[in-house]
Copies of this chain bind each other. A is one copy, B any other.
Amino acid sequence: MDVKLSTMITKPDFQAEFLSGILTANATPGIITFAGGNPNAESFPVEAMDAAANKVLKENGVMALQYSGTQGYLPLRKYIAERYKKMDLDFDPSEIIITNGSQQALDLFSAVMIDPGDKVLVENPTYLAALQTFHLYDPEIVPVDLHEDGIDVQQLEAALKEHKPQFMYLIPDFQNPTGLTYSEQVREKAAAVFKNSNCIVLEDNPYRELRFAGQSGHSFAWYLGEQCCLLGTFSKIVSPGMRIGWIACKQKKILEKMLTYKATMDLHTNMFGQMVLTQFLLDNDLDEHIEKTRLLYKQKAEYMIACIEKYLPAGVSCTHPEGGMFLWVTLPEGIKGVDIQRAAIKKGLAVCAGDPFYEYERNVPHLRLNFSNGSDEVIDRGIHILGDVMHELLAR
């Protein structure tokens, strides 16, 4: 048969190839992978989840298995709203939609906000799957450079004036891919600049609770109120396999349209998982649970950085994240991340080149490394291989 596919789906997708490489590495036994973003399995509360599942099915089994509302399980939305109070944020449960991971929330927001040609600001570099989602709706992506202490505020101000963007997507804490965090000063200045614009801030915060050093800064929602929408997820602090994230949004017009769009997409997020997760959250101390993960990731980050100092050639540098799951490697002059990625996979090591995190730059001298998911022994072995690969490339 001669099948004609849609124009949207046949557009070039630069990011897809990298993503599929990441997923293939994840699924290939024997490959050491720093390419993905998997939480460490040690952090999963398997027994407590079993108790929660049992309780839900015993006490509310029919509700867990029946159709439910599109917006999501109310006690879960209440829990999230309550937790925002710790960030000095005031959200009502009615301002939250539960989604299939925050990846779906990215799509809901994009579908509602982006017309072809609309401008969308992103950090440069930014999360690759966010770029993929935006691309579906054909915006013009305007990247704003990211420094050690956060976004370039002067560039931001100029971009807001010149492009009048629909929104800016940003990850202020332990950013993906760089691991960088905005200083409070940059947050304050950037917020002031946003306030003078009509640009919504879409703050993505999957890693915020995984801080293992330093102090948390304010969310842009604290500065901007309804001008800021928040993406959140339980993937990095409880379980990604349950696919439960959310978007918090005080703009009624946007929220309502996201709801009708979600109803058309998949009716609602799986109710069984929502109820089991909620039971887990109500019966356990999430902070205590996260604290263990924090300590684990602190040790992993420090261990990987020590290995980097031990094995990688002079001239390689990396970020020193205060939390999250990633660090960002800058390579010596003349070495491309894609070359390292290609050479490393031949030796059984998967890493992700910096390229797919950029809208325009290619052959960048960067790698993203995930530090959360390997044993110390695997981290040592993997960075050792990475060092060998770099030395070989430098020797040419």
Interface residues of A (CB under 8 A from B): 1-10, 13, 16, 19-20, 23, 26-27, 36-39, 41, 44, 46-47, 49-50, 53-54, 57-58, 61-70, 99-101, 103-104, 107, 111-115, 118, 129, 132-133, 136-137, 166, 198, 200, 226-227, 235, 238-244, 251, 253-254, 257, 260-261, 263-273, 276
Shortest distance from the beta carbon of A203 to any chain B beta carbon, whole Å: 16
Look across to chain B and name the residue whose beta carbon is closest to the beta carbon of A49: B57
CB contacts (< 8 Å) of A68 on chain B: these are 241
25 A-B pairs with CB atoms under 8 Å apart are: A1-B227, A1-B251, A2-B198, A3-B251, A6-B113, A8-B111, A8-B115, A13-B260, A37-B67, A44-B65, A47-B61, A53-B53, A53-B54, A53-B276, A64-B241, A65-B242, A100-B269, A107-B266, A132-B264, A136-B264, A242-B270, A243-B271, A272-B272, A272-B276, A273-B273
State whether A65 touches B49 (Cβ < 8 A): yes
CB contacts (< 8 Å) of A27 on chain B: these are 69
A62 to B42, CA, bound (A): 8
State whether A239 touches B272 (Cβ < 8 A): yes
Look across to chain B and name the residue whose beta carbon is closest to the beta carbon of A53: B53
Q: How many copies does the complex hold?
A: 2
State whether A200 touches B3 (Cβ < 8 A): yes
Shortest distance from the beta carbon of A167 to any chain B beta carbon, whole Å: 10
Contact partner of A104 (CB less than 8 A), chosen from B4, B103, B137, B266, is B266
**Which of A7, A68, A111, A241: most chain B Cβ within 10 A?**
A241
A227 to B2, CA, bound (A): 10
Shortest distance from the beta carbon of A394 to any chain B beta carbon, whole Å: 34
CB contacts (< 8 Å) of A129 on chain B: these are 264, 267
CB within 8 Å for A242 and B5 given contacts A67-B38, A101-B266 = no
Look across to chain B and name the residue whose beta carbon is closest to the beta carbon of A135: B264
A120 to B269, CA, bound (A): 28
Look across to chain B and name the residue whose beta carbon is closest to the beta carbon of A58: B50
State whether A270 touches B243 (Cβ < 8 A): yes
CB contacts (< 8 Å) of A200 on chain B: these are 1, 3
CB contacts (< 8 Å) of A104 on chain B: these are 265-266
State whether B107 touches A264 (Cβ < 8 A): yes
Shortest distance from the beta carbon of A235 to any chain B beta carbon, whole Å: 8
A133 to B266, CA, bound (A): 10
A129 to B266, CA, bound (A): 10
State whether B241 touches A270 (Cβ < 8 A): yes
Shortest distance from the beta carbon of A99 to any chain B beta carbon, whole Å: 8
Look across to chain B and name the residue whose beta carbon is closest to the beta carbon of A257: B9
Contact partner of A67 (CB less than 8 A), chosen from B1, B36, B198, is B36
Shortest distance from the beta carbon of A52 to any chain B beta carbon, whole Å: 9
CB within 8 Å for A103 and B53 given contacts A23-B70, A113-B6, A240-B66 = no
Shortest distance from the beta carbon of A136 to any chain B beta carbon, whole Å: 7
State whether B265 touches A103 (Cβ < 8 A): yes
A20 to B54, CA, bound (A): 32
CB within 8 Å for A62 and B41 given contacts A1-B227, A70-B23, A112-B9 = yes
CB within 8 Å for A113 and B5 given contacts A49-B57, A53-B57, A62-B41 = yes
CB contacts (< 8 Å) of A66 on chain B: these are 38-39, 41, 44, 239-241
State whether B264 touches A133 (Cβ < 8 A): yes
Look across to chain B and name the residue whose beta carbon is closest to the beta carbon of A252: B3
CB contacts (< 8 Å) of A53 on chain B: these are 50, 53-54, 57, 276
CB contacts (< 8 Å) of A114 on chain B: these are 6
Task: Please name 5 further chain A to chain B contacts, defined as beta carbons within 8 Å, in addition to the given A2-B198, A16-B260, A272-B272, sorted by A numbering.
Answer: A9-B260, A19-B263, A46-B61, A243-B269, A270-B273
State whether B57 touches A50 (Cβ < 8 A): yes
